[in-house]
Structure 1
Amino acid sequence: MEESKNEKVNQAHVLFDRFVQASTCKGTLKAFQELCDYLELKPKDYRSFYHKLKSKLNYWKAKALWAKLDKRGSHKDYKKGKAC
Protein backbone atom coordinates (compact mmCIF):
# COMPACT_ATOMS: atom_id res chain seq x y z
CA MET A 1 0.00 0.00 0.00
CA GLU A 2 2.73 2.47 0.97
CA GLU A 3 4.68 1.64 -2.19
CA SER A 4 1.62 2.35 -4.34
CA LYS A 5 1.21 5.75 -2.65
CA ASN A 6 4.89 6.57 -3.27
CA GLU A 7 4.57 5.58 -6.92
CA LYS A 8 1.58 7.91 -7.31
CA VAL A 9 3.49 10.77 -5.68
CA ASN A 10 6.55 10.14 -7.82
CA GLN A 11 4.43 10.06 -10.99
CA ALA A 12 2.93 13.42 -10.06
CA HIS A 13 6.46 14.79 -9.66
CA VAL A 14 7.44 13.46 -13.09
CA LEU A 15 4.38 15.06 -14.66
CA PHE A 16 5.05 18.38 -12.92
CA ASP A 17 8.65 18.35 -14.17
CA ARG A 18 7.42 17.60 -17.68
CA PHE A 19 5.02 20.55 -17.42
CA VAL A 20 7.72 22.96 -16.21
CA GLN A 21 10.26 21.79 -18.78
CA ALA A 22 7.94 21.88 -21.80
CA SER A 23 9.45 23.97 -24.56
CA THR A 24 6.38 24.68 -26.69
CA CYS A 25 2.93 26.01 -25.96
CA LYS A 26 1.40 22.76 -27.22
CA GLY A 27 3.75 20.72 -25.03
CA THR A 28 2.99 22.87 -21.99
CA LEU A 29 -0.77 22.52 -22.46
CA LYS A 30 -0.48 18.75 -22.99
CA ALA A 31 1.70 18.31 -19.89
CA PHE A 32 -0.65 20.49 -17.83
CA GLN A 33 -3.66 18.44 -18.91
CA GLU A 34 -1.85 15.18 -18.10
CA LEU A 35 -0.95 16.51 -14.65
CA CYS A 36 -4.52 17.63 -13.98
CA ASP A 37 -5.93 14.31 -15.21
CA TYR A 38 -3.51 12.36 -13.04
CA LEU A 39 -4.34 14.43 -9.95
CA GLU A 40 -8.06 14.27 -10.82
CA LEU A 41 -8.38 18.05 -10.97
CA LYS A 42 -10.66 20.13 -13.16
CA PRO A 43 -9.02 23.41 -14.21
CA LYS A 44 -12.43 24.85 -15.15
CA ASP A 45 -13.24 24.99 -11.44
CA TYR A 46 -11.06 28.09 -11.31
CA ARG A 47 -12.18 29.37 -7.91
CA SER A 48 -10.73 26.39 -6.05
CA PHE A 49 -8.34 24.93 -8.64
CA TYR A 50 -5.13 26.54 -7.39
CA HIS A 51 -5.75 25.53 -3.77
CA LYS A 52 -6.60 21.96 -4.75
CA LEU A 53 -3.52 21.75 -6.97
CA LYS A 54 -1.32 23.01 -4.13
CA SER A 55 -2.74 20.47 -1.71
CA LYS A 56 -2.41 17.52 -4.10
CA LEU A 57 1.05 18.35 -5.43
CA ASN A 58 3.33 18.37 -2.42
CA TYR A 59 6.67 18.50 -4.22
CA TRP A 60 9.61 20.76 -3.36
CA LYS A 61 9.88 22.09 -6.92
CA ALA A 62 6.17 22.87 -6.96
CA LYS A 63 6.40 24.50 -3.53
CA ALA A 64 8.99 26.93 -4.91
CA LEU A 65 6.53 27.89 -7.65
CA TRP A 66 3.65 28.20 -5.17
CA ALA A 67 5.75 30.55 -3.03
CA LYS A 68 6.42 32.81 -6.04
CA LEU A 69 2.79 32.78 -7.14
CA ASP A 70 1.52 33.43 -3.61
CA LYS A 71 3.92 36.33 -3.20
CA ARG A 72 2.79 37.82 -6.51
CA GLY A 73 -0.86 37.17 -5.69
CA SER A 74 -0.60 38.99 -2.37
CA HIS A 75 0.48 42.18 -4.15
CA LYS A 76 -1.94 45.11 -3.94
CA ASP A 77 -2.53 44.99 -7.72
CA TYR A 78 -4.23 41.63 -7.17
CA LYS A 79 -6.21 42.90 -4.17
CA LYS A 80 -4.03 40.77 -1.90
CA GLY A 81 -5.26 37.50 -3.39
CA LYS A 82 -8.93 38.50 -3.45
CA ALA A 83 -9.18 39.59 -7.12
CA CYS A 84 -10.96 36.40 -8.21
Structure 2
Amino acid sequence: MEESKNEKVNQAHVLFDRFVQASTCKGTLKAFQELCDYLELKPKDYRSFYHTLKSKLNYWKAKALWAKLDKRGSHKDYKKGKAC
Protein backbone atom coordinates (compact mmCIF):
# COMPACT_ATOMS: atom_id res chain seq x y z
CA MET A 1 0.00 0.00 0.00
CA GLU A 2 2.75 2.45 0.95
CA GLU A 3 4.67 1.65 -2.23
CA SER A 4 1.59 2.34 -4.34
CA LYS A 5 1.15 5.72 -2.65
CA ASN A 6 4.81 6.59 -3.29
CA GLU A 7 4.44 5.62 -6.95
CA LYS A 8 1.43 7.93 -7.27
CA VAL A 9 3.35 10.80 -5.66
CA ASN A 10 6.37 10.20 -7.88
CA GLN A 11 4.20 10.15 -11.01
CA ALA A 12 2.67 13.49 -10.00
CA HIS A 13 6.18 14.91 -9.63
CA VAL A 14 7.14 13.62 -13.09
CA LEU A 15 4.03 15.20 -14.60
CA PHE A 16 4.69 18.51 -12.83
CA ASP A 17 8.27 18.54 -14.12
CA ARG A 18 7.00 17.83 -17.64
CA PHE A 19 4.57 20.76 -17.29
CA VAL A 20 7.27 23.17 -16.10
CA GLN A 21 9.80 22.06 -18.71
CA ALA A 22 7.46 22.12 -21.70
CA SER A 23 8.93 24.22 -24.49
CA THR A 24 5.80 25.00 -26.50
CA CYS A 25 2.37 26.32 -25.65
CA LYS A 26 0.79 23.12 -26.94
CA GLY A 27 3.19 21.03 -24.85
CA THR A 28 2.49 23.12 -21.76
CA LEU A 29 -1.27 22.76 -22.14
CA LYS A 30 -0.99 19.02 -22.75
CA ALA A 31 1.26 18.51 -19.73
CA PHE A 32 -1.06 20.63 -17.56
CA GLN A 33 -4.08 18.59 -18.63
CA GLU A 34 -2.24 15.33 -17.93
CA LEU A 35 -1.29 16.58 -14.47
CA CYS A 36 -4.86 17.66 -13.73
CA ASP A 37 -6.26 14.36 -15.00
CA TYR A 38 -3.80 12.38 -12.90
CA LEU A 39 -4.61 14.38 -9.76
CA GLU A 40 -8.33 14.20 -10.58
CA LEU A 41 -8.67 17.98 -10.69
CA LYS A 42 -11.14 20.02 -12.70
CA PRO A 43 -9.54 23.31 -13.81
CA LYS A 44 -12.99 24.76 -14.57
CA ASP A 45 -13.72 24.75 -10.84
CA TYR A 46 -11.67 27.95 -10.63
CA ARG A 47 -12.77 29.01 -7.14
CA SER A 48 -11.10 26.06 -5.45
CA PHE A 49 -8.74 24.82 -8.17
CA TYR A 50 -5.53 26.47 -6.97
CA HIS A 51 -5.98 25.47 -3.33
CA THR A 52 -6.87 21.90 -4.30
CA LEU A 53 -3.88 21.67 -6.62
CA LYS A 54 -1.59 22.94 -3.86
CA SER A 55 -2.93 20.37 -1.41
CA LYS A 56 -2.61 17.46 -3.85
CA LEU A 57 0.82 18.35 -5.22
CA ASN A 58 3.14 18.45 -2.24
CA TYR A 59 6.43 18.64 -4.14
CA TRP A 60 9.36 20.91 -3.33
CA LYS A 61 9.55 22.24 -6.89
CA ALA A 62 5.84 22.98 -6.87
CA LYS A 63 6.12 24.65 -3.47
CA ALA A 64 8.62 27.13 -4.96
CA LEU A 65 6.04 28.03 -7.61
CA TRP A 66 3.24 28.26 -5.03
CA ALA A 67 5.35 30.68 -2.97
CA LYS A 68 5.84 32.95 -5.99
CA LEU A 69 2.17 32.81 -6.96
CA ASP A 70 1.02 33.43 -3.38
CA LYS A 71 3.34 36.42 -3.09
CA ARG A 72 2.03 37.87 -6.34
CA GLY A 73 -1.57 37.09 -5.40
CA SER A 74 -1.25 38.91 -2.09
CA HIS A 75 -0.47 42.16 -3.90
CA LYS A 76 -3.02 44.94 -3.53
CA ASP A 77 -3.82 44.81 -7.27
CA TYR A 78 -5.29 41.35 -6.69
CA LYS A 79 -7.17 42.47 -3.58
CA LYS A 80 -4.77 40.42 -1.46
CA GLY A 81 -5.94 37.12 -2.94
CA LYS A 82 -9.65 37.95 -2.80
CA ALA A 83 -10.16 39.11 -6.42
CA CYS A 84 -11.90 35.93 -7.57
Query: How many angstroms does 1:52 deviate by?
Result: 0.2
Structure 2 distance, partners of 1:61, 1:20, is 10
Query: How many angstroms does 1:18 deviate by?
Result: 0.0
Over the matched positions of the two proteins, sequence identity in percent amounts to 99
Query: How many angstroms does 1:24 deviate by?
Result: 0.2
Residue by residue over 1:2-56, the C-alpha shift from the partner in whole angstroms, topping out at 9 and shown as x without a partner, is 0000000000000000000000000000000000000000000000000000000
Q: Tell me, which stretches of 5 or more residues in structure 2 are unaligned?
A: none
Query: How many angstroms does 1:59 deviate by?
Result: 0.0
Query: How many angstroms does 1:75 deviate by?
Result: 0.2
The TM-score with structure 1 as length reference comes to 1.00
Name 2:25's counterpart in structure 1: 25
Paired residues, what number? Answer: 84
The TM-score with structure 2 as length reference comes to 1.00
Structure 1 distance, partners of 2:36, 2:43, is 7
> Alignment RMSD, CA only?
0.2
